[in-house]
Structure 1
Amino acid sequence: MAQSGELGVDTMILIGTVGMLLLAMAVIVFFLVYQRRLLAQQEKLQEVQAQQQKALLQASLQSQENERRRIAKDLHDEVGANLSTINLFTKSLEKFVGSETKASQMLDQTKALIETTVTSVRAISKDLLPATLDRFGLINATQELCDRINQADELTVKFESQTHEERLPVADELTLFRIIQELFNNTLKHAQATEIQLFIHYNDHNLKVVFQDNGVGFDVVALQNSEDSTKGLGLKNLESRAQMLQATLTYDCPPEGGTQVNILRNGNVSQ
Structure 2
Amino acid sequence: MSNFKFIVVLFLTIIFSTTSRGFQKERLDSLEQVFQNQSLSDSLRFLAIQQLTFSMIFSEGEKAKLKIQEVLKTAEKEVGKTRIYYEILQNLGIYYDVNQQTDSSLIIFSEILGESQRQGWKVLEQRAFNNLGMNRLNSSDYRAAIDYFSKSLEISRNDPNAQEANFVHSISNLGLANQELELYDQAIKYHLEALEIRERLNDPNGIAISSANLGICYRLMGEETRAEQYYQQAIENAKIAGNKVLFHRVHDNLGALYIGQKNYEKGLLMLNIALDSSDGFTPDPKMELSIVSNASAAFIEIGQTEKALEFANRGLRVLEENPELINYALTLKNTLAKIYFRKGDFEKGNAFLEEYQELNKKVFSEETARLLTDLQVKYDLEKKENQIALQTAELQEKNATLQRNYFAFAALGLLILLIVGTFVFYQNRNKRKQELLVKDRELKVKEAYIQASLESQEQERRRMAQDLHDGFGQYISALRMYVSQLKSDQAKEELKTELVNRTDSVLDEMSREISNVVYDLMPATLIRFGLIAALEDLAHRINAGQKVNLQIDAKNLPERLDELTEINLFRICQEWINNVLKYAQAKHIMLTVLQDDGQAQLQIKDDGNGFDVRVFQHSKRNGWKNITTRTELLNGKLRLFTQEGQQGTELLVNFPFVHRAN
- Establish whether residue 167 from structure 1 lines up as the match of residue 561 from structure 2: yes
Give yes or no for contact 1:138–1:173 (8 Å, CA) kept in 2.
Answer: yes
Instruction: Supply the distance in 1 between the matched residues of 2:610 and 2:588 (Cα, whole angstroms).
Output: 16
**SS at 1:264 equivalent:** strand
Is the alpha carbon distance of 1:242 and 1:99 closer, same or farther for their aligned partners in structure 2, counting shifts above 3 Å? farther
Larger radius of gyration, structure 1 or 2?
A: 2
Kindly report which structure 2 residues correspond to 1:1-271, keeping only aligned pairs within 5 A, or say none: 15-40=407-432, 42-47=434-439, 49-62=441-454, 64-65=456-457, 68=460, 86=477, 88-93=479-484, 95=486, 96=488, 97-98=491-492, 112=505, 115-116=508-509, 119-162=512-555, 163-170=557-564, 172-202=565-595, 205-215=598-608, 217-221=609-613, 223-224=615-616, 229=619, 234-245=623-634, 246-253=636-643, 257-266=647-656
1:51-106: per-residue Cα shift (whole Å, max 9, x none)? 45324413531553476468658977x888867755653553463444777x9989
Is the alpha carbon distance of 1:55 and 1:30 closer, same or farther for their aligned partners in structure 2, counting shifts above 3 Å? same
Instruction: Supply the distance in 2 between the matched residues of 1:104 and 1:189 (Cα, whole angstroms).
Output: 42
**SS at 1:214 equivalent:** strand
Instruction: Supply the distance in 1 between the matched residues of 2:472 and 2:510 (Cα, whole angstroms).
Output: 12
Instruction: Supply the distance in 2 between the matched residues of 1:139 and 1:69 (Cα, whole angstroms).
Output: 27
Which 5+ residue runs of structure 1 have no aligned equivalent?
Answer: 1-6
Instruction: Supply the distance in 2 between the matched residues of 1:214 and 1:48 (Cα, whole angstroms).
Output: 40
**SS at 1:185 equivalent:** helix
Instruction: Supply the distance in 2 between the matched residues of 1:104 and 1:92 (Cα, whole angstroms).
Output: 12
Instruction: Supply the distance in 2 between the matched residues of 1:104 and 1:218 (Cα, whole angstroms).
Output: 55
Is the alpha carbon distance of 1:225 and 1:187 closer, same or farther for their aligned partners in structure 2, counting shifts above 3 Å? closer
Instruction: Supply the distance in 1 between the matched residues of 2:581 and 2:508 (Cα, whole angstroms).
Output: 24
Give yes or no for contact 1:69–1:129 (8 Å, CA) kept in 2.
Answer: no
Residue type at the aligned position of 1:92: V
Cα distance, 1:126 vs. partner? Answer: 1.8
Instruction: Supply the distance in 2 between the matched residues of 1:42 and 1:167 (Cα, whole angstroms).
Output: 39
Cα distance, 1:135 vs. partner? Answer: 3.9
Instruction: Supply the distance in 2 between the matched residues of 1:50 and 1:124 (Cα, whole angstroms).
Output: 36
Instruction: Supply the distance in 1 between the matched residues of 2:545 and 2:441 (Cα, whole angstroms).
Output: 45
**SS at 2:513 equivalent:** helix
Instruction: Supply the distance in 2 between the matched residues of 1:70 and 1:234 (Cα, whole angstroms).
Output: 15
Q: State the identity %.
A: 24
Give yes or no for contact 2:539–2:550 (8 Å, CA) kept in 1.
Answer: yes
Cα distance, 1:203 vs. partner? Answer: 7.0
Q: Which moves more between the two structures, 177-186 or 52-61?
A: 52-61
Is the alpha carbon distance of 1:252 and 1:81 closer, same or farther for their aligned partners in structure 2, counting shifts above 3 Å? closer
Cα distance, 1:45 vs. partner? Answer: 4.8
Cα distance, 1:180 vs. partner? Answer: 0.8
More helix by share: 2
Instruction: Supply the distance in 2 between the matched residues of 1:225 and 1:59 (Cα, whole angstroms).
Output: 16
Instruction: Supply the distance in 2 between the matched residues of 1:42 and 1:10 (Cα, whole angstroms).
Output: 47
Give yes or no for contact 1:214–1:259 (8 Å, CA) kept in 2.
Answer: yes
Instruction: Supply the distance in 2 between the matched residues of 1:14 and 1:132 (Cα, whole angstroms).
Output: 83
1:10-61: per-residue Cα shift (whole Å, max 9, x none)? 9777645532321211221343244335434543553354245324413531
Instruction: Supply the distance in 2 between the matched residues of 1:266 and 1:41 (Cα, whole angstroms).
Output: 31
Instruction: Supply the distance in 2 between the matched residues of 1:106 and 1:86 (Cα, whole angstroms).
Output: 14
Cα distance, 1:159 vs. partner? Answer: 0.8
Cα distance, 1:206 vs. partner? Answer: 1.8
Partner of 1:4: none
Give yes or no for contact 1:72–1:126 (8 Å, CA) kept in 2.
Answer: no
Give yes or no for contact 2:589–2:606 (8 Å, CA) kept in 1.
Answer: yes
Give yes or no for contact 1:205–1:267 (8 Å, CA) kept in 2.
Answer: yes
Cα distance, 1:138 vs. partner? Answer: 2.4
Is the alpha carbon distance of 1:53 and 1:28 closer, same or farther for their aligned partners in structure 2, counting shifts above 3 Å? same
Give yes or no for contact 2:539–2:552 (8 Å, CA) kept in 1.
Answer: yes
Instruction: Supply the distance in 1 between the matched residues of 2:656 and 2:610 (Cα, whole angstroms).
Output: 28
Cα distance, 1:199 vs. partner? Answer: 0.8
Is the alpha carbon distance of 1:225 and 1:198 closer, same or farther for their aligned partners in structure 2, counting shifts above 3 Å? closer
Instruction: Supply the distance in 1 between the matched residues of 2:479 and 2:501 (Cα, whole angstroms).
Output: 13
Which 5+ residue runs of structure 2 have no aligned equivalent?
Answer: 1-398
Residue type at the aligned position of 2:446: K
Instruction: Supply the distance in 2 between the matched residues of 1:9 and 1:140 (Cα, whole angstroms).
Output: 89
Structure with the bigger RCO (C-alpha within 8 Å, sep 6+) is 1
Instruction: Supply the distance in 2 between the matched residues of 1:99 and 1:186 (Cα, whole angstroms).
Output: 51
Paired residue total? 255
User: How big is the alpha-carbon RMSD for the aligned residues of Structure 1 and Structure 2?
Assistant: 4.4
Give yes or no for contact 1:199–1:210 (8 Å, CA) kept in 2.
Answer: yes
**SS at 2:562 equivalent:** coil
Instruction: Supply the distance in 2 between the matched residues of 1:267 and 1:33 (Cα, whole angstroms).
Output: 42
Give yes or no for contact 2:449–2:628 (8 Å, CA) kept in 1.
Answer: no
Cα distance, 1:198 vs. partner? Answer: 0.9
Instruction: Supply the distance in 2 between the matched residues of 1:205 and 1:39 (Cα, whole angstroms).
Output: 34
**SS at 1:242 equivalent:** helix
More strand by share: 1
Residue type at the aligned position of 2:427: Q
**SS at 1:18 equivalent:** helix
Instruction: Supply the distance in 2 between the matched residues of 1:20 and 1:169 (Cα, whole angstroms).
Output: 66
